[in-house]
């Protein structure tokens, strides 16, 4: 437990409130956020807010707190090594804890040539794409009262991991965008896969998006959501409530995909996360 940035004044305030117990513990005056999870780039944690928390913030940005005080936070692929988790209590006091987010060694491939010169997108494509992105952003902007964020996620399907989250190519010094999800290949289109956690279907593209193909998105609550790309078909519709383990769609190669695979990405608010850190290594892979 560390109090950082103004922690001394805060610690003294709490010391007065708690008297000898706090004194005996030195800086042990901050409440325990009870974090458990993967405090690492692309990872996440669940915790318990101090009693009376009216507002919780990670690096100054609000994070939700459930009625029972449980909360979910996560750490972007490129997260800073230290982040401040703060709670404002009912009486106005602010307590905080500095979190240490472990760095990752991302798979980086250096290509000694420049990026492929792309042809400028046509006006028609730009229009189409902005419509697709608007639907994706709209799907992510709604917070549903679902509890999937509390669950231990399960694998949507078992298969060969054909692409890691966070891997990146650097073309002659110019970084390309990194791989935003985990690719799972079963070698065939049509393989069914299931919901990794409870949620609400927020997007089920009936016609393929230009890159994502038949995209399916599920909101797990608290700002946490999954996207499943390149599906050959969906078994659910927008607005459906789905349960962990429920059959939701089939693997395909719609959109920009060289072969059939499931690209599974997870976001918490604006942060991109590593699905592998939600499910852990699977036996037999």
- Cβ 205 to Zn ion shortest distance, Å: 16
- Cβ 271 to Zn ion shortest distance, Å: 18
DSSP string, the chain: ----SSHHHHHHHHHHHHTHHHHHTTTTTSPP---EE--BTT-EEEEEPPTTEEEEEETTEEE---TTSEEEEE--TT--SEEEEEEEETTS-EEEEEEE-B-----EEEESSPPPPPPPPPHHHHHHHHHHHHHHHHHHH------GGGSPP--SS--EEEE-TT-EEEETTEEPPPP-SEEEE-SSTT-EEE-SS-EEEEEE-SS-BTTTBEEEEEEEETTEEEEEEEESEESS-TT-EE-TT-EEEE-B--SS-SSSBEEEEEEETTEEE-THHHH-PPTT-
Alpha-carbon distance of 231 to 252, in angstroms, equals 4
Q: Which stretch binds Zn ion (CB under 5 A): 9-17, 43-51, 163-171, 231-239?
A: 163-171
Q: Which stretch binds Zn ion (CB under 5 A): 122-130, 234-242, 247-255, 258-266?
A: 258-266
| By the rule CB under 5 A, 220 interacts with Zn ion | no
Query: In Å, what is the CA distance from 52 to each residue of 31, 89, 91?
Result: 11, 5, 8
Q: Which stretch binds Zn ion (CB under 5 A): 146-154, 157-165, 212-220, 244-252?
A: 157-165
Between 140 and 263, CB nearer to Zn ion: 263
The site that binds Zn ion (CB under 5 A) totals a number of residues, namely: 4
Q: What angle do CA 17, 23, 28 make, to 5 degrees?
A: 85
Between 182 and 203, CB nearer to Zn ion: 182
| By the rule CB under 5 A, 77 interacts with Zn ion | no
Between 15 and 228, CB nearer to Zn ion: 228
- Cβ 180 to Zn ion shortest distance, Å: 7
| By the rule CB under 5 A, 183 interacts with Zn ion | yes
| By the rule CB under 5 A, 212 interacts with Zn ion | no
**Tokens linked to 30:** 């901050």
Question: Of these, 13, 28, 37, 163, which contacts Zn ion (CB under 5 A)?
Answer: 163
| By the rule CB under 5 A, 263 interacts with Zn ion | yes
- Cβ 261 to Zn ion shortest distance, Å: 7
Alpha-carbon distance of 180 to 49, in angstroms, equals 30
Between 50 and 181, CB nearer to Zn ion: 181
- Cβ 51 to Zn ion shortest distance, Å: 42
Between 180 and 244, CB nearer to Zn ion: 180
Q: Which stretch binds Zn ion (CB under 5 A): 70-78, 103-111, 118-126, 173-181?
A: 173-181
- Cβ-closest residue to Zn ion? 263
Between 100 and 167, CB nearer to Zn ion: 167
Q: Which residues bind Zn ion (CB under 5 A)?
A: 163, 181, 183, 263
């Amino acid at each position: 437990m560390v109090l950082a940035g103004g922690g001394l004044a805060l610690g003294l305030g709490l010391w007065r409130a708690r008297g000898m117990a706090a004194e005996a513990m030195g800086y042990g005056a901050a409440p325990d956020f009870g974090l458990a999870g993967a405090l690492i780039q692309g990872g996440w944690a669940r915790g318990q807010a101090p009693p009376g928390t009216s507002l919780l913030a990670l690096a100054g940005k609000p994070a939700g707190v459930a009625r029972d005080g449980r909360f979910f936070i996560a750490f972007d692929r490129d997260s800073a090594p230290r982040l401040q988790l703060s709670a404002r209590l009912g009486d106005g006091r602010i307590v905080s804890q500095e979190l240490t987010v472990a760095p990752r060694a991302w798979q980086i491939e250096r290509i000694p040539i420049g990026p492929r010169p792309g042809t400028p997108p046509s006006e028609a494509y730009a229009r189409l794409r902005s419509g697709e992105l608007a639907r994706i952003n709209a799907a992510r902007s709604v917070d549903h009262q679902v509890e999937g964020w509390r669950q231990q996620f399960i694998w949507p399907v078992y298969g060969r991991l054909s692409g890691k989250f966070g891997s990146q190519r650097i073309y002659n010094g110019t970084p390309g965008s990194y791989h935003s999800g985990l690719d799972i290949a079963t070698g065939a289109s049509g393989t069914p896969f299931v919901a990794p956690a409870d949620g609400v279907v927020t997007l089920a593209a009936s016609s393929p998006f230009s890159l994502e193909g038949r995209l399916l998105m599920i909101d797990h609550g608290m700002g946490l959501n999954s996207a499943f790309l390149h599906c050959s078909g969906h078994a659910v519709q927008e607005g459906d409530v789905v349960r962990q383990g429920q059959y939701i769609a089939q693997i395909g190669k719609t959109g920009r995909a060289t072969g059939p695979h499931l690209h599974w990405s997870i976001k918490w608010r604006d942060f991109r996360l590593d699905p592998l850190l939600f499910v852990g290594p699977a036996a037999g892979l």
